Amino acid sequence: MFRKSGNRFSEKNMRKGKIPMVDRRLLLAGAGAVALLAGLRWLQGSDVEAAAAFEIQKSDSEWRAALTKAQYEVLRLHRTEIPGSSPLNQEKRKGAFVCAGCDLPLFSSETKYDSKTGWPSFYRPLPDAIGTSTDHVLLLARTEVHCRRCGGHLGHVFEDGPPPTGLRYCINGVALKFMPDAPA
């Protein structure tokens, strides 16, 4: 890895104590540089690294153009809709709740229940639909829930749900779109 660059490192420079640029960069690849890079990564925050991992990626302006203002504020800015504001609270038909950002099916109507919180609630997501992370608001650690495919923020999951899982996926209705099953 640490290759000798004799041709660039002239006798004259060595005598003057000068180090050619290429060698300075190689030297930077040492422990100090690793620590520096780790620090920079930390400063950029976990969102940057997480965003790089999602299958569907758009720039901020592309998301703004693709979503309504309310969808953008929840999916991309992690805001929370006013409880009781989503028409999906009253949605009782059979079907799938898909991501408003990328149309990935996230929850089945079979797992929807009335949590009386004012937000659409489910006890289980569809397989391979969501990802989670931990966020901290007012020192309270909560499990954030997002779309596995586009990273859009959906809501949170709590451990006070009904059987069979005991989980409550508390989801912003604006982050979802309802696709009713075709009539039989």
| Site residues, Zn ion (CB under 5 A) | 99, 101-102, 104, 147, 149-150, 152
Are the beta carbons of 172 and 74 closer than 8 angstroms?
Answer: yes
As measured in angstroms, the least distance from the Cβ of 122 to Zn ion is 16
Q: Which CB sits closer to Zn ion, 34 or 65? A: 65
List all residues 6 or more positions away from 154 whose beta carbon is below 8 Å from its beta carbon: 75, 99, 106, 130, 145, 146, 147, 169, 171, 172, 175, 176
Q: Which CB sits closer to Zn ion, 112 or 148? A: 148
**Active-site residue (options: 99, 147, 150, 170):** 170
Q: Which CB sits closer to Zn ion, 74 or 147? A: 147
As measured in angstroms, the least distance from the Cβ of 102 to Zn ion is 3
Q: Which CB sits closer to Zn ion, 26 or 132? A: 132
Cβ–Cβ contacts within 10 Å for residue 74, how many?
Answer: 25
Q: Starting from the edge strand earliest in sequence, which strands make up the sheet with 95-99, in order? A: 105-108, 95-99, 176-180
As measured in angstroms, the least distance from the Cβ of 100 to Zn ion is 8
* Closest among 131, 116, 115 to 168, alpha carbons compared: 115
User: Is 170 among the residues known to form the active site?
Assistant: yes
- Is the bond leading into 164 cis (omega within 30 degrees of zero)? yes
As measured in angstroms, the least distance from the Cβ of 85 to Zn ion is 21
Give catalytic residues, as residue numbers. 170
